Amino acid sequence: MKILIVGATGTIGKAVATALSSQHEVISAGFSDGDVKVDLGSKASIEAMFKSVGQVDAVISTAGLAGFAPFNELDDAAYDLALSNKLMGQVNLVRLGRNHVSDGGSFTLTAGILSRNPMPGSVVISMANGALESFARSAALELDRGHRVNTVSPVFVKETMEMMGMDSSTGLSAADTAKAYIAAVEGGMTGQTLDAPDYA
Ligand SMILES: NC(=O)c1ccc[n+]([C@@H]2O[C@H](COP(=O)([O-])OP(=O)(O)OC[C@H]3O[C@@H](n4cnc5c(N)ncnc54)[C@H](OP(=O)(O)O)[C@@H]3O)[C@@H](O)[C@H]2O)c1
């Protein structure tokens, strides 16, 4: 399969690209690096990316910006970023990508465990994650040409925890997290949320 990975230069995306590249042709997309550059916050940029990449069999997103902040400190910009980038950026990959994905192809988006297991400071991330899961569940009912759409829900990634100076013993490695993305692309499910620990 020819697979476009948006966010392929990131912690999870790199592991997904590595895992897929032995069996598939991977095209990497990132904000500042990759085979193609894209800004998820811009529909024009997403459209330009699909035009330059051409037809693919699967689109994976391991991108999406949203910030941690206490509820009392969340300003309009914090909500806007989560909604326009993490949520609508990934939704727009499906809306704009449909004509560039072959029959039977798939979209795999990234949500996260904070939708169902929130913590103080996670409001806008949890909100975007929950909306992404609901988007995939409902859009799956209407996508045509055999297209599938799923979300992967990662837990805290070990490498991320280490980068943040945290104890990473409760985390899941990026390589193990990547296994859920492989399952979503190579499997037949649609409308599902794949909890990363279930595939590790
Ligand atoms: N890591 C975790 O512990 C964890 C846990 C749960 C959920 N998640 C979710 O998983 C996803 C990936 O996390 P990560 O830790 O792998 O992130 P990361 O290491 O920060 O990588 C993010 C990737 O997204 C790209 N990107 C950044 N801004 C972008 C934009 N405006 N448009 C398009 N691409 C953009 C980056 O490209 P550049 O490198 O070029 O900037 C990079 O490839 C996020 O949605 C995150 O919320 C992560």
Pocket probe mutation, ligand 1, options 26, 28, 31, max atoms within 8 Å of Cβ: 31
**Can you give the pLDDT at residue 31?**
97
- For residue 180, the surrounding DSSP H or E stretch is helix 174-186
Under the phi-then-psi rule, with left for phi > 0, alpha for psi from -120 to 50, and beta for the rest, what region is 37? beta
Q: For residue 192, name the pLDDT band (cuts at 50, 70, 90).
A: very high
CATH number of the domain within which 99 lies: 3.40.50.720
Pocket probe mutation, ligand 1, options 11, 39, 181, max atoms within 8 Å of Cβ: 11
**Can you give the pLDDT at residue 165?**
98
- What long-range pairs does 170-173 form, CB within 8 A, spacing at least 24? 172/196, 172/197, 172/200, 173/15
The ligand 1 atom at the shortest distance from the C-alpha of residue 31 is 40
Name, in order, each residue with C-beta under 8 angstroms of 77's C-beta and a sequence gap of 6 or more: none
DSSP string spanning 91-121? HHHHHHHGGGEEEEEEEEEE--GGGTS--TT
Mean pLDDT over all residues of the chain? 98
**Can you give the pLDDT at residue 84?**
98
13 Cβ below 6 A of ligand 1 = yes
**Can you give the pLDDT at residue 95?**
98
As a whole number, mean pLDDT of residues 50-56 equals 97
Number of domains making up the chain: 1
**Can you give the pLDDT at residue 117?**
97
DSSP string spanning 125-172? HHHHHHHHHHHHHHHTTT--TT-EEEEEE---BHHHHHHTT---TTSB
Q: What is the pLDDT of residues 132-161, one digit of tens each?
A: 999 999 999 999 999 999 999 999 999 999
Which domain range does residue 31 map to? 2-199
**How many other CB atoms sit within 10 Å of the CB of residue 65?**
15
CA distance 11 to 146: 30
Q: How far, in Å, from the CA of 11 to the mean position of ligand 1?
A: 7
What pTM does this model have?
Answer: 0.98
**Nearest one of 58, 36, 144 to 102, comparing CA atoms:** 58
Return the structure tokens found at 23.
Answer: 């069996």
Q: What is the pLDDT of residues 25-49, one digit of tens each?
A: 999 999 999 999 999 999 999 999 9
